[in-house]
């Protein structure tokens, strides 16, 4: 196992992600498609989330030229889970990572709201922009006190490869099959409810 593989495995270690708490994924794009879109990972602990991105940058810089990290968007229903889609982040060389949890990667289940004229399908628009530009920026996101999302592009990483799949095509021998065994912990809505409850308790 070489130095970069060791560093890569550290970036995917469950402990780091458990501390950061990956709550959701969101997207941004230029209104006139003049620039590649952005995929943002929303973390409950902003500083821990930035640490994950900094470890990635330390190994690959601000551009993942070798596609060392694989990002898959898997649409379709998962039994006993709410409708939505799944994002899986894993190493592109899982056979070199001895830790089974590292091999399974990090998984986030998204439950988007129904599309309306005021609220377009963000994933569909992101995919259109990605197909147009052939690349996207991956960046950490923090939710501010007013619940507004802020993308920190200073820690952004340019990526060109994105795996787009449907859950129906994944067989038990497929590495992405781990999404069927994944038990979601805390999502963005639950985290906001928890914060609201804690805030109310502090005021009493």
pLDDT given for residue 144 in this prediction: 76
DSSP of the chain, one letter per residue? --HHHHHHHHHT-HHHHHHH-EEEEEEE--TTS-S--EEEEEESSHHHHHHHHHHHHHHHTTB-TT--EEEEEEES--TTS-SSEEEEEEES-GGG---HHHHH-EEEEE-PPPP-SSS--HHHHHHHHHHHHS-EEEEEEEE-TTS-EEE-GGG-EEE---EEEEGGG--TTSGGGHHHH------HHHHHHHHHHHHHHHH-
pTM for this predicted structure: 0.81
State pLDDT tens for residues 35-75. 999 999 999 888 999 999 999 999 889 999 999 889 999 99
Burial 8-25 (b: 16+ CB within 10 A, else e): bbebbbeebbebbebbbb
Mean pLDDT of 81-91: 89
User: What are the sequence ranges of the domains in the chain?
Assistant: 3-203
Res. 30: pLDDT tops 70 = yes
Res. 76: pLDDT tops 90 = yes
Token output for 115: 């599309």
Q: Which one is predicted more confidently, 38 or 148? A: 38
Q: ∠ CA 179-181-182 to the nearest 5 degrees?
A: 65
């Amino acid at each position: 196992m070489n130095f970069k593989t060791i560093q890569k495995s550290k970036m995917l270690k469950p402990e780091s992600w458990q501390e950061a708490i990956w709550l959701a994924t969101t997207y941004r794009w230029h209104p006139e498609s003049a620039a590649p879109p952005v995929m943002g990972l929303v973390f409950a602990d902003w500083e821990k989330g930035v640490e994950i991105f900094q470890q990635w940058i330390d190994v690959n810089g601000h551009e993942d030229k070798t596609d060392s990290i694989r990002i898959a968007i898997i649409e379709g229903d998962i039994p006993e889970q709410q409708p939505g889609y799944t994002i899986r982040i894993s190493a592109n060389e899982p056979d070199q990572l001895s830790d089974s949890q590292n091999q399974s990667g990090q998984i986030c289940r998204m439950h988007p709201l129904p599309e309306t004229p005021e609220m377009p399908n963000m994933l569909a628009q992101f995919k259109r922009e990605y197909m147009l530009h052939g690349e996207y920026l991956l960046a950490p996101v923090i939710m501010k006190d007013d619940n507004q999302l802020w993308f920190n592009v200073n820690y952004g990483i340019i990526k060109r490869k994105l795996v787009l799949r449907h859950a129906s095509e994944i067989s038990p021998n497929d590495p992405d099959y781990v999404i069927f065994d994944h038990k979601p912990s805390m999502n963005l809505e639950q985290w906001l409810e928890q914060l609201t409850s804690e805030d109310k308790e502090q005021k009493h």
